[in-house]
Amino acid sequence: MMKLFRKAAIVGFLSIGGILLLSPGPALAAPKGQLVNALSSDISTLDPQNHNIRVNYIVGWHLYDNLVYRDQKTLKIGPHLAESWKIIDDNTWEFKLRKGVKFDNGEPFTAESVKFTIERGLDPKCPQRPSVSWVKEVKILDDYTVRILTEKPYPVALDRLANYQMLPPKWVKEKGLEFIATNANGTGPYRLKEWKRGVHVILEAKEDYWKGAPAIKTIIFRPIKEIATQISELMTGGIDIVRDVPPDQIPLVENSGIARTSKAPTLRVVYLLFDSAGRAGKSPVQNLKVRQAISHAIDVDTLIKTVMNGNALRTAAVLNPQHFGYDKSLENPYPYNPEKAKQLLKEANFPSDQPLRLVTYTGSIQNPRALVEAIGGYLNKVGIKTNINVFTDIGMWDRLGREGKQNDMHIHSWGSGGVYDADALYYSYFRTGAAYCYGSSPEMDKWLDDARATMNMEQRKKLYYNAGKYINDQALAVSLWAQYSILGINKRVVYEAPPDEFLRTFEAKLKD
């Protein structure tokens, strides 16, 4: 998220943004060539709102457009499907929409598209609800003017809309949910040619894309679960881009002769989350002293050196240093101290014969197996046995998390969806009733609610400090680190690692 500012500053920014019209640029040449991206898992759906999974987002970015767009170099939000916007009052945003844009089937993009897509996300069962839950009502003024009304002032509205993809209402209503889960109909730079589950997703460039045709004609996404296989194919030319190259594999890629690495600091944080609320059933981790003991048992600094080869930053109360609301004073509340851990376990009467479940997943966490095994080793040293599992089915992992079935301890990562604000993480993981919340309190709920309903920067900082301190005091999670995005890229490809981890290879080019 962008830093907050007073209302007058917002109006000034928006009035400037309001005249920044993004004109469609004609392609310099017809799209040509092919680029192959490796994904850690297959996509689970093509429905832009019926998931919360990064690989789905990545493919979706190529097929669908958002109202506004964050430039990956400047990180500033500018016009996209919305040509301009302004604040009418504290609770009303008005957007002027781009004319002449059509979905793949010829259905025009209009204010009705915006109203339908946002209201669809307000369904309590929609995984994308956090992106639009701040919306009270969407009003259509005319075909190309829409107003979004909020219950309270909402400082991260543009950040949310920059990651929310628009759908054609008539098509969705006529075809139904099952059809749109396996088909696409967007305004984006590519159209779907084929999705063969477990094999590939093939996209073809639109020469008549409203911003101008992309440079590459065909983009292919291939699901390859094992990172070693991805890197092997990168070095033999079968894959052009690999996400999340393990830090210890950087020299291998750099010395391959065919590929290079590109690295950028990201918003993604990695942390061990406890089921302190008991959503998945009774567990020893519902005892504060057990959670504190586990926190003391893990040597995070050594893990950064060994598992990540130094390619990570310490976090504080789960937040990334790039998040608004981050406070370094909250870093490392439980220093590595195995003897202290043993003492706390003794005080808690911890049942040493009862293994705790310790799980994580492949996809967004670098070196997940090495990480979970290393943490299991630390816990074993203080007398905690673990049953370790690494999910390769990211859809199942996400579903279990949302349904409250991830018991004991689970290592998560969260990329904040390109929102540079504590709201993106805290509200999803520590607000009572949120899909991924496994520990909170009425006080925490109030701090988080108040922080997303005021434009006062200093007040929000204090509220997020309170929330972070509560996370530390109650040991709701073990803050591990913030990841770098490390891409392995074929040298014929002109592209660099994005700071928000969303591969936008529609911006890539191929060298002649």
DSSP string for residues in 404-434: T---SEEEEEE-GGG--BHHHHHHHHSSTT-
Find out whether 111 and 97 touch, Cβ atoms under 8 Å.
Answer: yes
**How many CB atoms sit inside 10 A of residue 414's CB?**
19
> Containing H/E element for 294?
helix 288-297
Which residues sit opposite 77 in a β-bridge? 70
pLDDT tens digits, residue range 65-111? Answer: 999 999 988 888 999 999 999 999 989 999 999 999 999 999 999 99
Burial of residue 257 (number of CB atoms within 10 Å: 0-12, 13-18, 19+): exposed
Residue 324 DSSP one-character state: B
pLDDT at 26: 43
Grouping H, G, I as helix, E, B as strand and the rest as coil, residue 440 is coil
Burial of residue 364 (number of CB atoms within 10 Å: 0-12, 13-18, 19+): buried
Task: Kindly report the length of the chain.
Answer: 512
Confidence of residue 416 (pLDDT cuts 50, 70, 90): confident
pLDDT at 364: 82
pLDDT at 339: 98
Which residues make Cβ contacts (< 8 Å) with residue 303, sequence separation at least 6?
A: 371, 374, 375, 480, 481
Q: What is the mean pLDDT of residues 388-416?
A: 86
The rounded distance, in Å, linking the Cα atoms of 467 and 430 is 9
pLDDT at 310: 92
Report domain extents, the chain. 7-20+29-207, 266-484
pLDDT at 140: 99
Whether pTM exceeds 0.75: yes
| Topology match between the domains 7-20+29-207 and 266-484 | no
pLDDT tens digits, residue range 211-252? Answer: 999 999 999 999 999 999 999 999 999 999 999 898 989 999
Tell me: domain 266-484, CATH 2.30.110.10, correct?
A: no
Give yes or no for residue 20 having a pLDDT over 90: no
The architecture (CATH level 2) of 7-20+29-207 comes to 3-Layer(aba) Sandwich (3.40)
Confidence of residue 275 (pLDDT cuts 50, 70, 90): very high
CA distances from residue 139 to 117, 170, 171 in whole angstroms, order as listed = 13, 18, 21
pLDDT at 397: 79
Which residues sit opposite 220 in a β-bridge? 36, 202
Which residues make Cβ contacts (< 8 Å) with residue 136, sequence separation at least 6?
A: 91, 149, 150, 151
pLDDT tens digits, residue range 136-176? Answer: 999 999 999 999 999 899 989 999 999 999 999 999 999 99
